[in-house]
Structure 1
């Protein structure tokens, strides 16, 4: 006859003992950890750095170091907290040391002031970087022209009737003298238009230089406007006018009249007549080169409404007679 021994009771007892053991192990570990974290340690950690009290007429040319390795004495709780979130320290730039044109500060000389800003029992023992160089320059303003970048193609027979307008046509840049000196002009983004037959009115962004983080621009956009109109062709005939004839000399031109073919907008076309132009031929051209057989026209005056013109013929023959 076989004897059956029950093990279920033994297993339950062993499981309870293990849970009790595990509970006290975890509790003991927590108590040990709390005791250890309450102790004060000397260690190194990383602090974030900010700079303040820079004189109003000065400007940082480049950003100084933003993080520093620092030797500190602090409770373990604080050290653990600093591993997740770096503390911050501020350096005063009001009284910088200077050697030649170079500014610098000695961070360890400001330890007493830095420690007054820390909470708890944390104390900065030393900053591992003994010198921080600060590149400082004058804060200046400069006016520079705005240069529009355009690729405009008009519908056949159309064009601007006045110069393209940019508003504002210049901007004020304020900031580091070092970077502003190299900026001579500011360009817009490209305005590309095709088959234009109506007036233009567009707002364009300015292309800000890459090294402009510490610069202030009075505007970052400009307005581009331009009046567009249809152009037509006109022509009139005017007599040849010769100037600088010497005494006792008569210059006979051939032909005695020239034809002027011009283009103007429909808006301004009726404002143009033969008084809108002054075209002359200069006898001094012959005096400078007596071998020349022709005189070429010189446009002395032209109406602003005339966009282009052609003179027919583009040179004249002449005969000199002595009186």
Structure 2
């Protein structure tokens, strides 16, 4: 192409571009009305309530502003936080009036733009009232001790109970919370384990104040001792004597050797109730009604005795 033709094309391109830019600036400087839709995110729900449902999940605003502002708003966030701390209850219905959240709507658009209309003047909500409940923690433990070993005392769970906070309908029938399963075999030493709590499937909206507990147990090698404890018969009719065969029962105790040395038969009381005899049975049922503390295992080896009644 000749030089003069090239210059003419360049000039034409510059003029065309300038004209387009002038037209674009003119158009963007005009005032327009359009709609912008925001996804609603509800925040600051009162502590005593749980949000179950809302009448609207999004809101559409009719706004007015220059073309420049509309051009920028196309790239703004599509999510808007709505503060529910001012939610109102009237006739068993929770709601938020337009004036209570209009300021939040206005903050979502550029300052040079104004809100002409909102597609909903009142937001309605369904809440469930939250309650707190304290329930015990039950460890899921399968424990098999090594031969000649015992637990010195009951398993220790820390904490032994937890606080649940949630809808009343979820917590109404709940009585306990279990831990994950722990299997221990041939145990001959004391142990401590951290166990996760198992959330019941029915607790969809409930919070647990802790998620795990510590399980501890003291394991020791035991010694044995058998004591002959006299049988006391109660509710004997006046003017009647009784004799039991045998007149003592054997009690097997398992504990540390130093503890066994301290106990005697007088630390126990074995009792039989004559009023509990049925159908002229020749046997009396025996049970331990008193025993010393600190003995991990106490077993009554004879649970019944024969007897003879004699009138005085």
1:307 aligns with 2:297: yes
1:228 aligns with 2:219: yes
- The within-5 A match list for 1:62-211 is 62=52, 64=54, 65=56, 67-86=58-77, 91=82, 93=84, 96-107=87-98, 111=102, 114-115=105-106, 118-136=109-127, 141-173=132-164, 184-208=175-199, 210-211=203-204
Query: How many pairs are equivalent?
Result: 308
Q: Which runs of 5+ in 1 are unaligned?
A: 1-8
Q: Could you tell me how far apart the structure 2 residues matched to 1:320 and 1:97 are?
A: 80
Match of 1:320 among 305, 309, 312: 309
Structure whose alpha-carbon radius of gyration is higher: 1
1:37 aligns with 2:28: yes
TM-score by length of 1: 0.75
Q: Could you tell me how far apart the structure 2 residues matched to 1:192 and 1:36 are?
A: 76
1:294 aligns with 2:283: yes
- Given that 2:288 and 2:300 are in contact with CA atoms closer than 8 Å, whether structure 1 keeps it comes out as no
1:273 aligns with 2:264: yes
Q: Which runs of 5+ in 2 are unaligned?
A: none
Matched residue SS, 2:222: strand
Give 1:245 deviation, angstroms: 2.2
1:61 aligns with 2:54: no
Matched residue SS, 1:132: strand
Deviates more, 1:303-312 or 1:169-178: 169-178
Matched residue SS, 1:70: strand
Matched residue SS, 1:241: strand
TM-score by length of 2: 0.77
Matched residue SS, 1:43: strand
Q: Taking structure 1 as reference, are residues 264 and 101 closer, same or farther at Cα in structure 2, changes over 3 Å only?
A: same
